[in-house]
Amino acid sequence: MSDAADGSTRAAPRLSIRAQYVKDLSFENPNAPSSLRSERSQPVIKVDVDVDARSLGNSNYEVGLRITANASRDDSTLFVVELQYSGVFLIQNFPPERLESVCMIECPRIMFPFARHVIAETTRDGGFAPLLLDPINFSELYRQHRAKRDVSEADPNVTATVPE
């Protein structure tokens, strides 16, 4: 029997952005002004991304997107930018088994273009070309975190930093 046939109604899942904000931002240009000289060789850019989420109560969740980018050339650091970009989301009527994936995949996917803009503007303001981050596959990042968590739960001697 369908929900409509038995008279019950199920509210549609709802994901609503309450706020987005820079929680922490750091830019280091340790070798300026020499690091600002134009060089022929491209810098090596290393980017690390992590996501975490926590309940604020009343179906509100704070989701944090941490992005660290290091640029170097010839074993010399050009810049380091660290961003903690967060958002508060109202998440209602999702099945409990989907809540974690909504927080760890869908919310960061919504926030990423804004965080990418902050990174680009910060590196530009630091005297470099804007760092335009490639799109991130948050589904794959979530899968990797789940795999690490499964390994750490199976072997107490293995530690992994996984957002809960």
Q: How many domains does the chain have?
A: 1
Residue 162 lies in a domain: no
CATH number where 29 lies: 3.10.420.10
Give the residue numbers spanning the domain of 90. 14-143
Q: What is the distance between the alpha carbons of residues 127 and 109, in angstroms, rounded to a whole number? A: 28
In a domain, 91, yes or no: yes
Model pTM? 0.83
The 10 Å Cβ neighbour count of residue 152 is: 15
Decide if 53 contacts 116 (C-beta within 8 A). Answer: no
Residue 118 in contact with residue 67, Cβ under 8 Å? no
Q: Using CA atoms, how far apart are residues 90 and 15, in angstroms rounded to an integer?
A: 6
Decide if 148 is inside a domain: no
pLDDT reported for residue 6: 52
**10-residue averages of pLDDT along the chain (164 residues):** 56 96 98 81 94 96 98 93 99 95 97 98 96 97 87 56 36
